Amino acid sequence: MKEEFDSLQLAQQEMSSLDDKSKVDIKGKLYVTVATRVEIFRKHFGERGAISTDVLHQDDHRVVVRAEISIHKPDSAKWVLATGHAEEYRGDGYINKTSAMENCETSAVGRALSAAGLSGGEYASSFEVDNAINNKSKAAAKKATPEAEKAAPEAKKNEGDTLSEEDQVRLEKAIAEFVPIIADKSKAAKTEEEFDNYLDSKKEARDLIKELDPNVYESIKEKLGIMRKKIMKGK
């Protein structure tokens, strides 16, 4: 068991030593994404470490997911390091309109990792934080198009700030460019190389989103990261 505790301690030390460039700035608080925390967990535990999820409930209205972080050794039973639960309502916020299940699973994994000591400064997934920010207030700017709403939360630069009507329209158009691939309805990328070429072709749109709304940019960035992993696995 000492080996497991040593690995956990090393993973926690790597988490605490991450520089600010490796974190997401959400409302002035720095946060380490679930994807980064999973990579650190895999790095230190390798094949011994397991992250499993179980859908406890799903219907047309609600999704509940349980995540478990465990350590496996050939000569002993598994050691459950931590668990985490998440609940999401379909249609509650812009992310959940298209990706409630994915959002809920990410949130549950994030909470389980936090319970294991790999919190990255926030006891939530980045989607949870982003949803909490964007669902508690309504933007005063022009309402986003249905296509843009599917890709990311409502656009706001910073708390208390709203975009000009012209910038709002530019932002909506830029977000809409990522809708097909995020919704997994695009045939633009079947390989990792095609995916990278696709992103390169959208550089202008990505830069505009990052400039006008960093929170939306980070949400899209994380979803694209999930898409990349699916492509690499041949899904």
Structure tokens at 34: 């679930």
Instruction: Return the SS3 of 215.
Output: helix
Looking at the structure of the chain, the number of domains it has is 2
Q: What is the pLDDT of residue 234?
A: 67
From first to last of its 235 residues, the chain has per-residue pLDDT tens of 677 778 888 998 898 888 887 777 666 677 788 888 899 999 999 988 999 999 999 999 999 999 999 998 777 778 899 999 999 888 876 677 778 898 889 889 988 998 888 876 555 454 545 554 454 433 333 344 454 454 444 444 444 456 677 777 787 788 877 766 666 544 556 788 888 888 888 888 888 888 888 877 887 888 788 777 877 776 5
Q: What pLDDT shows up at residue 155?
A: 41
* 147 and 201 housed in the same domain: yes
d(CA 111, CA 83) in angstroms, rounded, equals 8
120 with 155, same domain: the answer is no
What pLDDT, on the 0 to 100 scale, is given for residue 199? 84
Does one domain contain both 146 and 186? yes
- 86: Cβ–Cβ under 8 A, 6 or more apart, which residues? 64, 65, 67, 104, 105, 107, 108, 110, 111, 125, 128
- pLDDT, residue 180, reads 65
Indicate whether 159 belongs to any domain: yes
CATH code where residue 18 lies: 3.30.390
pLDDT of residue 131: 53
Give the pLDDT confidence score for residue 162 in this predicted structure. Answer: 63
Looking at residue 168, its pLDDT comes to 74
What is the C-alpha separation between 18 and 36, in angstroms, rounded? 10
Query: Domain for residue 132, yes or no?
Result: no
pLDDT tens digits, one per residue of 184-204: 544 556 788 888 888 888 888
Q: Are residues 50 and 153 in the same domain?
A: no
Tell me, what's the pLDDT at 21? 78
